[in-house]
A and B are shown apart, each in its own frame.
Chain A
Amino acid sequence: MAGIWRSVASAALLIISMVIMLDFALKNATLQALATDLNNWAVVVAAFALGIGAYSLILRHGRMITRKGPLWPYSIILLVTMLVFVVTGLVTGSITSPQYNWIYSTIVMPVSSSLYGMNAFFIASASYRAFKAKSWEALVLLVAAIFLMLKNAPIGAVISPILPQIGGEIWDFATATGMRALLIGIGIGTLALGLRVMIGQEKTPLGGAE
Chain B
Amino acid sequence: MSLREVLNRNYKQVIYIALFLSLAIPLISPIGLPVPVQKTTLGVYNKIESLKSGDVAVIGSNIGAAIYAEVYPQYIAVLEHLLRKPGVKIVLVGHGIEAPIWAERALNELNAPNRKTYGVDFVHLGYIAGEEAAIAGLCRDIHALLKVDHGGRPLSDLPMMNNIRNAKDFTIVIDFTASADSQYWLNQAYASYGTAIGFGLTAIKVPDAYAYYMAGQIFGIIESLSGAAQYENLIHKPGMAVTGMDAQSLAHLLYIALILLGNIFIVTQRRVK
Contacts and interface: CB of A to CB of B under 8 A. Distances in A.
A42 B259 CA distance: 48
A132 B262 contact: yes
Contacts of A172: 214
B84 to A, nearest CB: 24
A131 B259 CA distance: 6
Interface stretch (A7-15, A61-69, A76-84, A141-149): A141-149
Interface stretch (B115-123, B169-177, B246-254): B246-254
A115 B255 CA distance: 20
B57 interface: no
Interface stretch (A151-159, A192-200, A202-210): A151-159
A89 to B, nearest CB: 11
B266 interface: yes
Contacts of A100: 101
Interface residues of A, number: 59
B133 A39 contact: yes
Interface in B75-120: 97-98, 100-101, 104-105
A74 interface: no
B154 to A, nearest CB: 17
B56 interface: no
A19 interface: no
A46 interface: yes
A36 to B, nearest CB: 5
A109 interface: yes
Contacts of A101: 101, 105
B136 interface: yes
B6 interface: no
Contact of A120 (B19, B67, B211, B214): B19
A101 B104 CA distance: 10
Given A40-B145, A112-B65, A125 B262 contact: no
A121 B129 contact: no
B interface, size bucket: 35 or more
A117 B24 CA distance: 14
A186 to B, nearest CB: 10
Contacts of A50: 97, 129
Interface in A148-188: 149-150, 152-158, 164, 171-172, 175-176, 179-180, 183
A123 B253 contact: no
A191 interface: no
A153 B248 contact: yes
Nearest to A35: B140
A120 B133 contact: no
A164 B37 CA distance: 12
B216 interface: no
Looking at B16, B130, B192, B251, the one whose CB has the most chain A CB atoms below 10 A away is B130
Interface in A23-42: 24, 32, 35-37, 39-40, 42
Interface of A: 24, 32, 35-37, 39-40, 42-43, 45-47, 49-50, 94-96, 100-101, 104, 108-109, 111-113, 115-117, 120-121, 123-125, 127-129, 131-133, 142, 145-146, 149-150, 152-158, 164, 171-172, 175-176, 179-180, 183
Interface of B: 7, 11-12, 15-16, 18-19, 23, 33-36, 64-69, 97-98, 100-101, 104-105, 128-131, 133-134, 136-137, 140-141, 144-145, 150-151, 192, 203, 207-208, 210-211, 214, 223-224, 226, 229, 245, 248-256, 258-259, 261-263, 266
Given A129-B262, A149-B252, A152-B224, 15 more contacts: A42-B130, A43-B133, A96-B101, A101-B101, A109-B65, A124-B16, A125-B11, A127-B259, A128-B11, A132-B263, A153-B253, A154-B35, A154-B36, A154-B245, A171-B210
13 contacts: A32-B140, A36-B137, A43-B137, A46-B133, A49-B129, A112-B66, A113-B69, A121-B15, A124-B19, A128-B7, A150-B252, A155-B250, A176-B211
What are the 8 tightest A-B residue pairs by CB atom distance, in nearest-first order?
A: A155-B249, A112-B65, A46-B130, A43-B130, A42-B133, A153-B252, A47-B129, A96-B104
